Structure 1
Amino acid sequence: MSASIVTTEVQAAETAQPIVSVKADPEVNGTKPKVRRAIDEEGGNTTAKYPHYLPVWNHGEKYPPLRPFEHVDHGKDADPSFKDLLLAGSTIEHLTPLTGSEVTGVQLSKLSNAGKDQLALLVAQRKVVAFRNQDLADLPIQEALDFGGYFGRHHIHPTSGAPEGYPEIHLVHKKGGGENINPVFANRNSTVSWHSDVTYENQPPGTTFLYIFDAPEVGGDTAFVNHVEAYNRLSEEFKQRLHGLKAIHSGYEQAENSRKQGGVIRREPVTSEHPLVRTHPATGEKGLFVNGGFTRSIVGLKKEESDAILNFLLTHIGRGIDYQARVRWRPGTVVVWDNRVTSHSAIVDWTTGERRHLARITPQAERPYETPYVAPSA
């Protein structure tokens, strides 16, 4: 996208609709907006396997506030036999009993609509599913976006870099080398950073896709934690108390961090109130909807009260090793997770100099809602 384009997002219904572009003045106060390109920072040459996916940060791209849209969850009425997804010759292996699976023999980009519906249901049930030997990275970027757009309106991240001309793609990129890794540990003991993506939005993401271009031979895995099981492990008294509570999710800190580092702010930051316990539309399961990345406080409670509950919940989620899964990246891997019922954390544990480069397609879902607490049957 050129600096002379300002994108207006329009309301969408079941699937993402095309973005409408409006011409705008390419200059601000007589100067052209700053455009930072990762490939320029590598001297115009790169060892990246997919250079057209290297990030660009265009300070001239600005977007209006997101508008509400009607989301239809495709997993809700999907065939639970998965006959259009797990075709003959495919295999599925569970990573752990409760969380995560790995599938081979399925090509996501070739799925029928029925297969995509079943994909949404499988991911809602297993929380995260890794698909091996995929062609998503090799498709034209617009084709990859068309595939992801089936699952909801594309989210455009307010602060991240994107492939030039495709702001709907969120990029994760560390070009490698010890200088990229060592500063992480200057003020912290580990890289654990559990979060659910952009939950400050009024309609946060649902079925989410992350695919790999470059990765270390060993290291750079991603860990996922199951928020449904985290909820299930609580006492009934505590579950009941959490119902009806709402929490503030804020994007202001992310925007301010980008500002301090000279980064972009494509859309002004927002906050949203979401229930602490969220119900999934396809499975009916209840899960904790709280994460350390964006949840700031509980509405109606004093700071000490709010902090005590949030600290307990975040510790409970983070230490739940028996309802977590770890995905190892390999060439051709696409990881699909349900952002409504999980948190995840990148694991920055390699010092061998390899690049780690991934792309995320982030369809938005429904506004979080909760259903009443139901006591277990006697």
Structure 2
Amino acid sequence: MSSTTIQTQTEPASATLKLRSSTDGKQEKDLAEYRYSHLLPVFSQDQYPPLTPFDHNDPGHRALSHPNPRSFLDNATKITELTPNLGTEVHGVNLRALGSDARDQLALEVARRGLVVFRDQQEFIDAGPDFYREWGSHFGRLHIHPTSGHPQGYPEIHLVYRDANSSFNFEIEDSITSTVWHSDVSYELQPPGLTTFFLLSQPSTGGDTLFTSQVSSLNKLSPQFVAFLKTLKAVHSGVEQANFSRSGKRGGIVRREPVEHDHPLVRKHPVTGEEALYVNRQFTRRILGLKREESETLLRFLYDHIDKGGDVQARVHWTPNTVVLWDNRVTAHSAIVDYGESKERRHGARITPQAERPIPALEGLELS
């Protein structure tokens, strides 16, 4: 199948959006007229050194001492709990206008609810990538993804992109389902905390995102079993994701060598103190200290438990100008790729601040 290259005047030849096929120039014309063409994914050849540890000061801590830590919601016109244990939907609050104190409160609210969906956020979305970076930096050090596309000149903005001819997502095509629960880049030494995501373009139907509460998933298990899980650590690996790109998929780029780190199976949130299950099918590979069969059996059980936990899950239906924030420390999520036959574009941007190294729920559990 032939490929056509779309390249802006300011892009180096190494940073291009490649389309699988285009026979009459219509694809190029559509992209040129696309409102968010300046945010299309590029794949630069830039190489980055390994990430270094840093001290993370969670802004939610500051909100704990506020006399009304939910005052940033005072002007909301509608607040709806998506489920009892996970997710809140908010109308009437302009995220673009939130100051530092309100952002601290937001961090605490997202930590407590796991997931907060804000509707009618065109001003936020249209503020552009310089604003996105400033926004995300309030919540932590911005993560640069090792393999994903990003807007030209803004490597801190992680993009997902799929249209009639192209896909630049980390997708497993030989599976009977597109549901793959994960916590973003959990293989990093200091994985993300509060994360912001929005769609710039979306299919007319489909393309929803599923979320699950890893706090509630843990609480479903028996106390004796949870006590055992707290003694365990698991390896989270970025190798498969890197190899996926090295095979020529996504954008064919690996900007930073993949890493593996061990994290506690049960982690503690630094602000709320809540304990959450911390394994995911996409990046967790093995449990340390267990024999292979034991590790595989236990991980299969936990993955199955997460997959089937419909009573602790929430589904976000994307409408135009929606911004979603979640806490990667206490939730997992999965995209739903059910819109492929429509040939419609789905173009999303993620702002991904890193947080602390996962804190073991079991005090004294040593991490290498």
User: Within 1, Cα distance between the matches of 2:319 and 2:90?
Assistant: 13
Which of 300, 304, 316 in structure 1 is aligned with 2:305? 316
Residue deviations 1:68-125 (CA, integer Å, cap 9, x gap): 1100111124137334310234321011111111001111121121211111111111
Alignment of 1:49 with 2:35, yes or no, is yes
Aligned with 1:231: secondary structure?
helix
Residue deviations 1:117-149 (CA, integer Å, cap 9, x gap): 111111111111110111222013111210111
Alignment of 1:272 with 2:261, yes or no, is yes
Instruction: Give the CA deviation at 1:186.
Output: 6.3
Q: Equivalent residue for 1:152?
A: 140
Q: Equivalent residue for 2:271?
A: 282
Q: Equivalent residue for 2:127?
A: 139
Change (3 A) 1:169 1:68: same
Aligned with 2:61: secondary structure?
coil
Unpaired runs of 5+ in structure 1? 1-31, 374-378
**Root-mean-square deviation (CA), in Å?**
2.1
Change (3 A) 1:293 1:103: same
Instruction: Give the CA deviation at 1:180.
Output: 6.3
Do the aligned residues in 1 keep the contact of 2:114 with 2:327 (CA within 8 Å)? yes
Aligned with 1:223: secondary structure?
strand
Which of 57, 76, 82 in structure 1 is aligned with 2:61? 76
Alignment of 1:223 with 2:210, yes or no, is yes
Aligned residues: 338
Aligned with 2:242: secondary structure?
helix
Do the aligned residues in 2 keep the contact of 1:176 with 1:356 (CA within 8 Å)? no
Q: Equivalent residue for 1:58?
A: 44
Unpaired runs of 5+ in structure 2? 1-11, 22-26, 364-368
Aligned with 2:359: secondary structure?
coil
Q: Equivalent residue for 1:341?
A: 330
TM-score (normalizing by structure 2): 0.87
The letter of the residue matching 2:98 is: L
Aligned with 1:278: secondary structure?
strand
Alignment of 1:195 with 2:182, yes or no, is yes
Residue deviations 1:305-354 (CA, integer Å, cap 9, x gap): 11111111111011100000000111111000001111111111122221
Q: Equivalent residue for 2:359?
A: 369
User: Within 2, Cα distance between the matches of 1:156 and 1:180?
Assistant: 20
Which of 203, 207, 213 in structure 1 is aligned with 2:194? 207
Aligned with 2:109: secondary structure?
helix
Change (3 A) 1:186 1:294: closer
Do the aligned residues in 1 keep the contact of 2:210 with 2:336 (CA within 8 Å)? yes
Aligned with 1:343: secondary structure?
strand
Aligned with 2:296: secondary structure?
helix
The letter of the residue matching 2:40 is: L
Aligned with 2:243: secondary structure?
helix
Change (3 A) 1:80 1:295: farther
Do the aligned residues in 2 keep the contact of 1:39 with 1:45 (CA within 8 Å)? no
Do the aligned residues in 2 keep the contact of 1:38 with 1:55 (CA within 8 Å)? no
Do the aligned residues in 1 keep the contact of 2:161 with 2:345 (CA within 8 Å)? yes
User: Within 2, Cα distance between the matches of 1:141 and 1:180?
Assistant: 22
Change (3 A) 1:180 1:169: closer
User: Within 2, Cα distance between the matches of 1:242 and 1:305?
Assistant: 13
Q: Equivalent residue for 1:298?
A: 287
The letter of the residue matching 1:36 is: T
The letter of the residue matching 2:96 is: S
Instruction: Give the CA deviation at 1:37.
Output: 2.1
Q: Equivalent residue for 2:244?
A: 257
State, as a whole percentage, how many aligned pairs show the same letter.
49
Q: Which moved more, 1:341-350 or 1:185-194?
A: 185-194
Alignment of 1:127 with 2:138, yes or no, is no
User: Within 1, Cα distance between the matches of 2:67 and 2:279?
Assistant: 28
Aligned with 2:151: secondary structure?
coil
